[in-house]
Amino acid sequence: MSFRTFINRLRKGEHYELIGQTIFAYHGPFETLALHRSEIKQWAIIPEMGVDFIQIELNSGKMLLLTDKHNDLIAALNAIAENCKVGDELELLNK
């Protein structure tokens, strides 16, 4: 990783990057999660003021609840798993 990339990630705080078919979550410059397209069963957006929460159900049955301040997670999910999106979090919980 270049110094410029390190500084940009540090400045941006929590963010997500799509590389190939994998979404990487970062807290500052540090990777905290790698999620491949094949792991995603379904996902939903929970809109709140100022930040969206994204609920993701994995094929293993595990549920993730992630924050998305910059809408980069939503963009990444739409790019690789748009067909797995459900209408809202209540639909996801009731399935």
pLDDT per residue over 20-78, tens digit each?
Answer: 999 999 887 778 899 999 999 999 999 888 889 999 999 999 999 999 988 999 999 99
Pick the CATH number of 3-94 from 2.30.29.30, 2.60.40.1180, 3.40.50.720, 2.60.120.10: 2.30.29.30
pLDDT top residue among 7 and 50: 50
Lookup: tokens for 23: 């979404």
Q: How far apart are the first and last CA of the chain?
A: 41
Q: Which residues contact 56 (CB under 8 A, 6 or more apart)?
A: 35, 40, 42, 43, 63, 64, 65, 66, 77
The pLDDT of residue 11 is 62
Strand ranges, E, within 1-95: 14-19, 22-27, 30-36, 40-47, 52-58, 63-68
The pLDDT of residue 81 is 93
The domains of the chain are located at 3-94
pTM of the model: 0.80
